[in-house]
Homo-oligomer: A and B are copies of this chain.
Amino acid sequence: MTEDHEHHGGGSPADLAEALTRASWRLRKNERKALAPYGLTFAGARALRAVVKAGSMRIGDLATLLEIVPRSATTRVDSLEEAGLVTRAADPNDRRSVLVEPTPQGRDLVETLAAERRASAEKLFSPLSSDERAELFRLLASLTKEA
């Protein structure tokens, strides 16, 4: 055990990393269960949300947003398209690109899932007060503000 002379135990980067991993793991597990009845996975739901929010996205931009390689984004879109939740369309400005757009069913599903997602997240964050949640968001968001 590394004995920090500071009195706030657990402030070390390693402890922070473990706490972050644990919390994220819990969230993912909860959401996976909630999503299963709808035939969506955690990663799939995240991608669909992004597409619905954007209205229309290139595959490459989706990959960047999700922090995965473009090839992985292709497979992801394949699944969503197969499920009838998004469609591929040619980009009129650049024919190398493919625009991904949500179908009405895709939009509806995101709407439906919002409640479930809210419940999952609410469950995890229930120990925190409103102020604490705002503070946690601020801290987390600052970690990934464009490296």
Q: Is there an interface contact between B114 and A2, defined as CB atoms closer than 8 Å?
A: yes
Q: Is there an interface contact between B118 and A13, defined as CB atoms closer than 8 Å?
A: yes
Q: Is there an interface contact between B11 and A134, defined as CB atoms closer than 8 Å?
A: yes
Q: How long is the Cα–Cα vector from A128 to B137 in the complex, in angstroms?
A: 13
A125-B137 in contact given A17-B120, A20-B23, A27-B21 (Cβ < 8 Å): no
Q: How long is the Cα–Cα vector from A133 to B14 in the complex, in angstroms?
A: 11
Contact with B along A99-128 (1 / 0, CB 8 A): 000000000000100100110111011011
Closest residue of chain B to A46, judged by CB?
Answer: B21
Q: Is there an interface contact between B134 and A136, defined as CB atoms closer than 8 Å?
A: no
Q: Is there an interface contact between A133 and B11, defined as CB atoms closer than 8 Å?
A: yes
Closest residue of chain B to A53, judged by CB?
Answer: B1
**Interface on A for B, CB 8 Å cutoff?**
2, 6, 8, 10-29, 31, 46, 67, 111, 114, 117-118, 120-122, 124-125, 127-128, 130, 132-145, 147
